[in-house]
């Protein structure tokens, strides 16, 4: 049976003035996000529309200003409309109307009294006799992740805002207060036209469904057509509905809010961290059912299959919680062995983010009942992953090729295939040739330097948040001032480069090695030294660093990296 859906444009007064209707923003929605910039744009547009060229006579009768659509679901046996999409404009409109109402309270001529009564119809609930219940707003929000709902209630109800309020609701309400007061001061005789045309000529398109699933499908369709809604919003709505049907809506609200609160690590680097979490989880699930295809579907298409079947599984929310916990511990460097922390440091400098997919797949496949991993086995896996990702890029592999191989690896981890794509991909001859031809501009160089730094047995783990630059041990300035001591190729070779803390690199970039020794050690002007063990050893064991040391170190890095790739099984030795 196809659910009934009603559409048709309505004025602000027609939509909000329905005395029996009220609006509820459910807890699975995103928090209110509009700021002063959006409010200013809306205010300017309405003023220009209602009073063109600052003259009410320029307004054409019958003109309309389209504000946007609002998707709602009418709750059973109720006059409450659940807002599926459109909360940003609806809340903002209510804030503006509340300011207009407060100003009209002090204007007692006939026209303004009538306008005040009209706004009462739009913003207040009514009693059984149809009389407005002043202070009881028609709009209510219970967004689980919104910590500012009390302020919204205070603003829409009593119409009060104080300096202690810091929410977007309060900021936007203050903006409208100032904007309206300025308008009244400059154009006192035009104010009533502005309010009347806002109520009667500003148009919204309500899309009303009597079935929540239909409303959510409309919500999804609108998002596909470019409205700024994320995939995770769609997933949240579907999961909320599932848990609500089980009588567990409050439980879901709390767990989802906690996931959002604890998002950490590389997830936060994305525009939509929650959607990135689902994308990583998709990779794991695809591995469980791997059958040879490496064509990745869109995240929304994957989770919307079979009427959101995966989203309704009990394990889904549990797995998402575990995955967030893992990346939260990664961010805090909590519960990992020193070798694993050193591996994480190296992966920070990977030429792409595919390592996060692989690590998420490995974690979800191999965690124990407490959500932890065997650290020795995990370290062995990370070593193979680093060898594969860095070796493949050094040999010229593209990100697209690596992505397909990581997808195959997810199938291997899940037991769907007997062969790991991380092993035996490149011959020793080809890898040696690739390393010899590796130009200084290649993106993999910084990653190889990170690997070299952490391959030192005496190197301690370094906090993941520490910023590093590439240090030229033999300084560029020295090369400019003393041409002929080393070649341009030696200057930019791996053997003349190291990672160095950014705070130190700024000070040491142009110094001779004799001066750099003191900076590396930290004995210069009381400044702290580096935590890079190799640079400390160079400072203690070398009076200078010239062409001989550069060539020897370049050869050592290349040969050691090649042996590492062989030990990890990525390079086939002797071929």
pLDDT value at position 2?
Answer: 40
Q: Which helix (H) or strand (E) holds 539?
A: helix 533-541
pLDDT in tens, 295-340: 889 998 899 888 889 999 999 999 999 999 999 999 999 999 999 9
- Which residues, other chains included, contact 542 with Cβ-Cβ below 8 Å and sequence gap of 6+? 513, 517, 549
Mean pLDDT of the chain: 88
User: What is the rounded distance in angstroms from the CA atom of residue 238 to the CA atom of residue 316?
Assistant: 12
Q: Which of 18, 24, 136 is nearest to 70 (CA)?
A: 24
The whole-angstrom distance between residue 71's C-alpha and the CA centroid of its chain comes to: 25
How many C-beta atoms lie closer than 10 Å to residue 463's C-beta?
A: 9
- Residue 525's pLDDT band, with cuts at 50, 70 and 90, is low
Q: What is the mean pLDDT of residues 148-172?
A: 89
Q: What is the mean pLDDT of residues 246-261?
A: 90
Q: Which of 325, 320, 407 is nearest to 311 (CA)?
A: 320
- This prediction has a pTM of 0.72
Q: What is the mean pLDDT of residues 340-366?
A: 95
- Residue 147's pLDDT band, with cuts at 50, 70 and 90, is low
pLDDT value at position 1?
Answer: 35
- Residue 233's pLDDT band, with cuts at 50, 70 and 90, is confident
For the residues of 59-90, what is the DSSP string, one character each? PPTT--EEEEEEEEEEPTTSSEEEEEE-HHHH
- Better-scored residue on pLDDT, 81 or 525: 81
- Residue 281's pLDDT band, with cuts at 50, 70 and 90, is very high
Look at 221-230, 253-262, 486-495 and tell me which has the smallest mean pLDDT.
221-230
| Burial class for 515, CB neighbours closer than 10 Å (0-12, 13-18, 19+) | middle
5: left (phi over 0), alpha (psi -120 to 50) or beta: beta
**Is a pLDDT exceeding 60 seen at residue 145?**
no
**Is a pLDDT exceeding 90 seen at residue 146?**
no
pLDDT in tens, 382-405: 999 999 999 999 988 888 899 999
Look at 103-117, 254-268, 492-506 and tell me which has the smallest mean pLDDT.
254-268
Q: Which of 18-32, 135-149, 191-205 has the highest mean pLDDT?
A: 191-205
């Amino acid at each position: 049976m196809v659910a009934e859906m009603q559409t048709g444009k309505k004025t602000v007064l027609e939509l909000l003035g329905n005395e029996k209707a009220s609006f509820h923003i459910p807890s699975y929605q995103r928090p209110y996000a509009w700021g002063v910039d959006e409010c200013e744009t809306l205010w300017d547009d309405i003023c220009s529309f209602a009073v063109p060229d600052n003259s009410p006579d320029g307004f054409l009768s019958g003109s309309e200003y389209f504000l946007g659509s609002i998707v709602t679901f009418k709750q059973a046996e109720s006059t409450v409309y659940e807002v599926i999409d459109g909360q940003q404009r609806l809340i903002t409109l209510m804030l503006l109307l509340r300011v207009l109402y407060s100003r009209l309270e002090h204007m007692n001529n006939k026209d303004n009294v009538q306008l005040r009564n009209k706004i009462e119809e739009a913003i207040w609930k009514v009693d059984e006799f149809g009389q407005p219940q002043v202070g009881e707003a028609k709009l209510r929000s219970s967004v689980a992740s919104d910590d500012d709902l009390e302020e919204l209630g205070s603003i829409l109800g009593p119409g009060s805002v104080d300096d202690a309020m810091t929410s977007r609701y309060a900021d936007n309400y203050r903006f409208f207060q100032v904007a309206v007061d300025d308008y009244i001061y400059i154009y006192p005789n035009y104010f009533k036209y502005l309010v009347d045309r806002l109520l009667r000529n500003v148009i919204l398109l309500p899309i009303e469904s009597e079935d929540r699933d239909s409303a959510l499908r409309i919500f999804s369709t609108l998002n596909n057509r470019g409205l700024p809604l994320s995939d995770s919003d769609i997933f949240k709505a579907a999961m909320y509905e599932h848990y609500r049907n089980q009588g567990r809506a409050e439980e879901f609200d709390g767990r989802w809010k906690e996931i959002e609160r604890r998002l950490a690590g590389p997830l936060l680097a994305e525009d939509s961290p929650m959607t990135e979490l689902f994308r990583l989880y998709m990779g794991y699930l695809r591995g469980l059912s791997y059958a040879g295809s490496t064509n990745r579907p869109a995240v929304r298409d994957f989770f919307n299959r079979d009427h959101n079947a995966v989203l309704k599984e009990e394990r889904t929310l549990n797995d998402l919680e575990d995955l967030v916990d893992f990346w939260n511990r990664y961010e805090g460097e909590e519960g990992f062995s020193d070798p694993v922390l050193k591996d994480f440091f190296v992966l920070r400098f990977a030429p792409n983010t595919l390592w996060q997919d692989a690590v998420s797949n490995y974690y979800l496949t191999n965690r124990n009942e407490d959500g932890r991993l065997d650290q020795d086995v995990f370290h062995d896996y990370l070593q193979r992953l680093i060898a594969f990702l860095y070796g493949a890029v050094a040999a010229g592999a593209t990100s697209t090729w690596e992505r397909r191989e990581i997808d195959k690896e997810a199938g291997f981890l899940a037991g769907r295939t007997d062969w790991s794509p991380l092993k035996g991909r490149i011959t020793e001859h080809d890898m040696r040739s690739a390393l010899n031809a590796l130009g200084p501009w290649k993106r993999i160089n910084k990653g190889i330097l990170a690997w070299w730094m952490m391959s030192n047995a005496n190197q301690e783990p370094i906090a993941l948040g520490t910023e590093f630059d590439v240090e030229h041990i033999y300084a560029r300035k020295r090369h400019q001032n003393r041409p002929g001591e080393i070649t341009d190729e030696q200057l930019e070779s791996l053997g003349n480069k190291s990672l160095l803390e950014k705070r130190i690199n700024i000070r040491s970039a142009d110094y001779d090695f004799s001066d750099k020794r003191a900076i590396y050690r930290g004995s210069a002007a009381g400044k702290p030294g580096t935590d890079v063990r190799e640079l400390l050893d160079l400072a203690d064991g070398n009076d200078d660093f010239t062409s001989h040391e550069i060539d020897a170190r370049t050869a050592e890095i290349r040969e050691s990296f090649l042996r590492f790739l062989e030990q990890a099984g990525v390079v086939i030795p002797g071929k």
